[in-house]
Structure 1
Amino acid sequence: MVNQTQANVGTGNGKRTDPEHFRVFCICFTKTAIRKSDLNNDGRLDLAVANYLGNNVGILLGYGNGSFAQQTTYSTGDGFDTWMITIGDLNNDNMPDILVTNYGADSVGIFFGYGDGSFTSQMIFPTGIGSKPIAAAIWDFNSDNRSDIVVVNYNSDNVILLLRDSSQPFLTMTTFLTGKNSNLQYMAIADVNKDNFLDIIVANNGNDNIGILLGYGNGSLMKQITYATGNGSSPSSVAVGDFNNDSLADIAVANTGANNVGILLGYGNGTFSAITSYSTGNVSNPYSVSVADFNNDKCLDMAVSNLGSKSVQVKQTDHGSSFWPRFSLVFVNDVGQNFVICDKCRTIVTYKSSTGTGGLKKHLASCDKITLSNTTQSIITTYYTASKPSIIPEKIKKEVTNAYLEFIALDGRPFEIVSRIGFKNMLETIFKAGKITANSQSTEISDLLPHPTTVSRKVDQVYSF
């Protein structure tokens, strides 16, 4: 039951903010898994609940107004310790069925649906003696348009595929190893190498890594490739999404033992960067991570449930490089503003629908008189402290501003403009760069400029003339 929540909000550059930007809500954790679906074909969402302590599955039919009918239960068996539940069509009758993992009985169970909110008794499929299945999913892994089952087993350190032929039972079971003492906790399903076949990502809690098992689309998987999550990290959950807006699959992982969440950026070929971790707070013990656009800004965010602090976190991302303070974007009444770039002189010109034509004609008339050249200064060897910004010569301010505008206009690349206090912070950051990096160290200007993926966010339109 959820009483409290925290959130991590993203900006599309693959980064996350520090813990102080988290919002915290209280949660009471119980061993219950919940899934939602329309189970009786009335157009309203219903709930299916795996009751670990009750050894049953509960069905709560929804009324469409946030309330539900009294729970109807279906037994999974005494001591079965039903752990996880998922919903899908497992017999191609276009009616939702229920799949559960029976952790205590080394099996998965299927309840076939009648389409009216009622279900058959459980059909059991063993997963191996002592396997302790902890998670399962329903997908088509052999491209035959029939739903198959994938199961991760905590105790037997493997992933199994249950493939279905034209008959109802699952006749083929294939096992894929994940490493001795890997103690799998969770998995995610996605195409991470852009071959249109499903791949499996697992959290190897016992070996402090995540594993990638690339799929061939015929019911077989490539040998696991692992990525370290840190000594003592004990990863418990993984999720897949595009966190840096490059249209490639990235991975988020909740590291219970390290009190952090990590991001591994994908290269589109099934390989990933080393992990970048973000703290969730001392003794938070993050146990589960999920991704969605929680603030409707078209960028994926992360929600992390913390077992230790009994909270959920949703965290905002940071912009730019490690040198940069937070900055603002140019918006008027929450609407991004339009700019044009002159291909000839690289001047950035604002426009409005009422004045755009006249303004562009005026600029064209004076374009030949404008000369802009790249700055010849390649490093910063001195600086002005932010505490005395008034002593910064106006000429230097102008040159830095022009250099920044040249950077974002270069080669017609998409851009954003910082403004108000954000623009002031940007300038002062550059002027005190020597202090940031130590007085004896020279700082490359390129290190201070935002990354292109940062300055290309939220552009309405870019025109050339």
Structure 2
Amino acid sequence: MKWYASKISSLLSSTNVPVILKLPILFLSIGVIGVCISATVILSLISIYIPNHATGGTCPISFSLMLSQSVGRGPTAILAAHLDNDSFLDIVVANYDEGSAIVLFGLGNGSFSRQITILNQTNAGTNGIAIGLINNDTYMDIVLANRNASKVLIYYGDGYGGFSIPKTIATGTNSNPVEVALNDINNDTYTDIVVVAHVLAEIQILLQNADGSFQNAIVLPTGNESGPYFLSIHDFNRDQHADIAVGKGEDNTLSIFFGNGTGHFSNSANYNMEPGSYALTVNYFNRDDILDIVTGNYDDGSTTILFGNSDGTFTKQKRFSTGVGSLPYAIDSNDFNKDHAQDVIVANSGTNNIGIMLGNGNGNFLMQKTFSTGANSEPKDVISGDFNGDNRIDFISANYGQNSIGIFLSTCNHKLVE
């Protein structure tokens, strides 16, 4: 439910204990669907790595729950950006159960004061959020996916915390848009919108025209009943064109659609994943400066890393447990312990906690350290950033079961690693 830029990491070492499992080599052959060319991908799952450390790096991670703040019924998505005329991070929260979205403005100390409601539509099923520059000004705009209403809403910002009446784009009857992302898909300098239509099992590309209007959707089928959900847009094959990665939790695959720079996508690749591979985060997790992908596997209680190759393919798949019954719903990455290696943070909706797996820079992760979000909180999303200006990475959870957000401030002694 998030749209993030990539963050660069470098290598530090770690020790892991491998548990060897007899797993088959998986073959997946994709037929021609729409604009997608047939591809065959072979993945060999060799071993599961169970780390033997609970801490690592030079700055052991620790967090203090600053406060739990009510936001509305059923928060399922949260995203941070600078939305008013100050230097403090603000957040947008989508409340699925009541069909609302709110903006909370940061004070720079980890708390949020002024709050405005930009959407309040019963049964809209507000689900996905994207933030970026859509029109020709320098002010951040907000895009929402209304799942039950089958619409995408665009709110143009004024730079001071105000937003326009929304511009509405229909995504098709019963399309159930669950996620949105922003990027210049066709290299014309205008920001385009990418929508995941969950029930229709397709990706919709909405190209923006020079006058701010949007063209009819270019459709990328993801496969019958594939259950596409989260997506991320990057140049995976280094051809200067935007590509799309999407997690499909109902057919348990990850799909990569390769763009040709015109708004169309010429071929795709699919990778067999663990059950419920809806969520994903893209980052540099090993030393090769090539983008990698980590998925959150909801039904399997795990995360999986796929190491990127320079041609946009992925290999060397590893699985890391998030705990029995954890139901990891959302995933993000950041450098929490300031060792210049990217870590993974997971919203474990089944065990009511946030798990952080410290990375060592070579694609391995330490056993997750968990932080409770409270009984029956069922966190559905998590974001990270420096919310109190102390040069430490904090996180905020969207607690669906408690109708709240939990603000966790880092107490890591960052001076040890500077």
* Secondary structure of the structure 2 residue equivalent to 1:138: strand
Q: Which residue in 1 is equivalent to 2:395?
A: none
Q: Does 1:305 align with 2:328?
A: no
Give deviations 1:209-263, integer Å, cap 9, x for gaps. 1000011121111333100013xx1102111112221111111111111111111
Aligned equivalents of 2:64, 2:349: Cα separation in 1: 11
Please point out which of 18, 21, 25 is paired with 2:50. Answer: 18
Change (3 A) 1:320 1:15: same
Task: Decide whether the 8 Å contact of 2:10 with 2:361 is kept in 1.
Answer: no
Which amino acid in structure 2 is aligned with residue 281 of structure 1? G
Task: Decide whether the 8 Å contact of 2:253 with 2:273 is kept in 1.
Answer: yes
* Secondary structure of the structure 2 residue equivalent to 1:105: coil
Give deviations 1:132-155, integer Å, cap 9, x for gaps. 111101111111111100011111
Task: Decide whether the 8 Å contact of 1:131 with 1:156 is kept in 2.
Answer: yes
Q: Which residue in 1 is equivalent to 2:110?
A: 66
Q: How does 1:47-66 map to 2 (within 5 A)?
A: 47-66=91-110
Aligned equivalents of 1:319, 1:292: Cα separation in 2: 12
Q: How does 1:79-228 map to 2 (within 5 A)?
A: 79-228=123-272
Q: Which stretch of the first structure deviates more once superposed, 215-224 or 17-26?
A: 17-26
Task: Decide whether the 8 Å contact of 1:76 with 1:122 is kept in 2.
Answer: no
Task: Decide whether the 8 Å contact of 2:74 with 2:95 is kept in 1.
Answer: no
Please point out which of 258, 281, 288 is paired with 1:239. Answer: 281
Please point out which of 295, 316, 320 is paired with 1:278. Answer: 320
Aligned equivalents of 1:242, 1:43: Cα separation in 2: 27
* Secondary structure of the structure 1 residue equivalent to 2:178: strand
Change (3 A) 1:318 1:56: closer
Q: Which residue in 1 is equivalent to 2:305?
A: 263
Aligned equivalents of 2:94, 2:305: Cα separation in 1: 30
Q: How does 1:303-452 map to 2 (within 5 A)?
A: 303-317=345-359
Aligned equivalents of 1:187, 1:297: Cα separation in 2: 27
Structure 1 residue 25, shift from structure 2 partner: 8.6
Task: Decide whether the 8 Å contact of 2:98 with 2:121 is kept in 1.
Answer: no
Aligned equivalents of 1:10, 1:305: Cα separation in 2: 25
Change (3 A) 1:153 1:119: same
* Secondary structure of the structure 2 residue equivalent to 1:290: strand
Q: Which stretch of the first structure deviates more once superposed, 284-293 or 209-218?
A: 284-293
Give deviations 1:99-148, integer Å, cap 9, x for gaps. 00000111110111122211112211011111111110111111111110
Structure 1 residue 19, shift from structure 2 partner: 6.2
In structure 1, runs of 5+ residues without a counterpart are 1-8, 323-465
Structure 1 residue 316, shift from structure 2 partner: 3.7
Aligned equivalents of 1:166, 1:158: Cα separation in 2: 26
Task: Decide whether the 8 Å contact of 1:164 with 1:172 is kept in 2.
Answer: no
Give deviations 1:356-415, integer Å, cap 9, x for gaps. xxxxxxxxxxxxxxxxxxxxxxxxxxxxxxxxxxxxxxxxxxxxxxxxxxxxxxxxxxxx
- Specify which structure has the higher proportion of strand: 2
Aligned equivalents of 2:335, 2:362: Cα separation in 1: 20
Change (3 A) 1:22 1:150: farther
* Secondary structure of the structure 2 residue equivalent to 1:79: coil
Give deviations 1:22-78, integer Å, cap 9, x for gaps. 579999994332222222222332222222233222122233333333321122532
Task: Decide whether the 8 Å contact of 2:15 with 2:52 is kept in 1.
Answer: no
Task: Decide whether the 8 Å contact of 2:248 with 2:254 is kept in 1.
Answer: yes
Structure 1 residue 96, shift from structure 2 partner: 1.1
Structure 1 residue 313, shift from structure 2 partner: 1.6
Task: Decide whether the 8 Å contact of 1:86 with 1:136 is kept in 2.
Answer: yes
* Secondary structure of the structure 1 residue equivalent to 2:315: coil
Structure 1 residue 159, shift from structure 2 partner: 0.4
Give deviations 1:401-448, integer Å, cap 9, x for gaps. xxxxxxxxxxxxxxxxxxxxxxxxxxxxxxxxxxxxxxxxxxxxxxxx
Change (3 A) 1:43 1:318: closer
Identity of aligned residues (%): 32
Give deviations 1:295-346, integer Å, cap 9, x for gaps. 1111111112212112222224579999xxxxxxxxxxxxxxxxxxxxxxxx
Aligned equivalents of 2:233, 2:188: Cα separation in 1: 17
Structure 1 residue 208, shift from structure 2 partner: 0.8
Structure 1 residue 12, shift from structure 2 partner: 5.4
Aligned equivalents of 2:74, 2:53: Cα separation in 1: 27
Which amino acid in structure 1 is aligned with residue 283 of structure 2? G
Aligned equivalents of 1:112, 1:295: Cα separation in 2: 36
Aligned equivalents of 1:94, 1:320: Cα separation in 2: 38
Q: Say what the alpha-carbon RMSD is for the aligned residues.
A: 2.8
Structure 1 residue 81, shift from structure 2 partner: 0.9
Task: Decide whether the 8 Å contact of 1:157 with 1:183 is kept in 2.
Answer: yes
Structure 1 residue 172, shift from structure 2 partner: 3.4
Which amino acid in structure 2 is aligned with residue 117 of structure 1? G
Task: Decide whether the 8 Å contact of 1:176 with 1:223 is kept in 2.
Answer: no
Which amino acid in structure 1 is aligned with residue 117 of structure 2? T
* Secondary structure of the structure 2 residue equivalent to 1:18: strand
Task: Decide whether the 8 Å contact of 2:133 with 2:191 is kept in 1.
Answer: yes
Larger RCO (CA under 8 A, 6+ residues apart): 2
Task: Decide whether the 8 Å contact of 2:253 with 2:277 is kept in 1.
Answer: yes
Q: Which residue in 2 is equivalent to 1:377?
A: none
Change (3 A) 1:307 1:20: farther
* Secondary structure of the structure 2 residue equivalent to 1:72: strand
Which amino acid in structure 2 is aligned with residue 111 of structure 1? Y
Q: Normalising by structure 1, what TM-score? A: 0.62
Change (3 A) 1:69 1:222: same
* Secondary structure of the structure 2 residue equivalent to 1:78: coil
Which amino acid in structure 1 is aligned with residue 345 of structure 2? A
Task: Decide whether the 8 Å contact of 1:254 with 1:262 is kept in 2.
Answer: yes
Aligned equivalents of 1:124, 1:204: Cα separation in 2: 26
